[in-house]
Amino acid sequence: MTASERSPGEGEDVAWSDEVEHLIAAADVEAPLGAQIAEWLTAEPAGRVADIGCGPGAMTLALLARSPDAQVDAVDGEPMMLDAARRCLTAAGLDAQVEFRLGDLDSLELAEAAYDLVWVGSVVHHLPDQQSGVDRLAALLRPGGRLALGEGGLPLRCLPYDLGIGRPGLEARLSAAQAAWFNALRAAMPGAVRAPAGWTTLLGSAGLVAPVTGRSCLRCQRRSRTRRGRTCSPTSRRCKAGTESCPGSMTRTGRRCDGCPIATPPRTWRAETTPSC
């Protein structure tokens, strides 16, 4: 969401203006997950926070719920997304604590060494040079500040190999199609370079010297029995909207099967700078 704006056909990875409603639905479904991440991130006080790629404002809202005295810069490169975030925070009566800033990491002048916490959810993999992006994000932190990245997580297997209909191995084919979509997205990105290492090394190379910690979150859904004995999700419409929201997700690649949305659990990495003596 903070990648530079481009017209379709000019290397734009995702047309984010078309994704606003989907991401609003996803934020509703994933609110408990956002609350858990916000709890982890606010275990230490954070007076000034940056939410980079804020989308419709769900994580800004979750962070303020845990740190009611914080001031947040909510940043997004899509005007319609930022408008949705403004509506979200205004409805919660928290807009006075938020500065909504339109732009991306390349164009927006964000103060360096100014933030106690920088949250970056599902953004870095859209940057052509991910190491350079992490370096830029780390530079925003005050000494002792924390940078948290939320990125695609561990593969989730929730279907039997043979569903009893069609060709066996549906989930493996969906995973392969999703990987092909992501590889094509990166290949078509102007100026894209391959990340030299994994997230832990990228964060360390950016000067974040405290131990990097990783957390994985599984999205769990309650399930119930229908009168016909078939298992289904009691909030299937909301779950369908949420799990289909992310471009390239398996639910867009294929279909929901056996009443269970196919989704990968997000993963969060956290690192911090070392306070100066």
- Amino acid at residue number 253: T
Rounded CA separation 234/250 (Å): 21
CB burial string 14-40: b at 16+ within 10 A, e below: eebeebbebbbbbbebbeebbbebbee
Predicted confidence (pLDDT) per residue in 147-161, tens digit: 999 987 667 778 899
Is residue 7 over pLDDT 80? no
| Ordered domains of the chain (ranges, CATH) | 16-158+194-221+264-272 (3.40.50.150)
Q: What is the pLDDT of residues 177-202, one digit of tens each?
A: 989 999 999 999 999 999 988 888 89
Confidence at 41, pLDDT banded by 50, 70, 90:
very high
Q: Do the Cβ atoms of 146 and 116 come closer than 8 Å?
A: yes
Query: Identity (one letter) of the amino acid at 215?
Result: R
pLDDT mean across residues, the chain: 79
What residue has token string 């471009």?
Answer: 247
pLDDT at 259: 38
Helical packing angle, 79-91 and 58-66, nearest 10°: 40
**What letter represents residue 112's amino acid?**
E
| Residue range 224-238: mean pLDDT, rounded | 34
Q: What is the pTM of this model?
A: 0.75
